[in-house]
Amino acid sequence: MNEEMIGTLAGKIWAVLSEQPMTVKELKTITKLKEAEIYAAIGWLSREGKMTVTPKGKDFVYSLN
């Protein structure tokens, strides 16, 4: 995975999360991306300060700032 690909994946995750906050499991179901791709995109968005991560039980909910 290179930087350009991760940026593209981040755009896909951004589009989905712009509708509502979700868990990785929900993102995986909706986007059909692999977990590693989702976490790479989440890392990209987090690094840019565009994500909020909220604990929810044993899981985390990801949303856009």
Tokens 């700032």 belong to 65
pLDDT at 1 over 90: no
- Alpha carbons 28 and 33: distance in angstroms, whole number: 6
- Give the mean pLDDT of the chain: 96
Instruction: Kindly give the residue spans of alpha helices, DSSP state H, lying in 1-65.
Output: 3-17, 24-31, 35-47
User: For residue 31, what are its two tokens?
Assistant: 């986007």
Task: Note the pLDDT tens digit of each residue in 21-31.
Answer: 999 999 999 99
SS3 43: helix
- Average pLDDT value for residue range 12-36: 97
Percent of the chain with pLDDT over 90: 98
DSSP class of residue 22 equals B
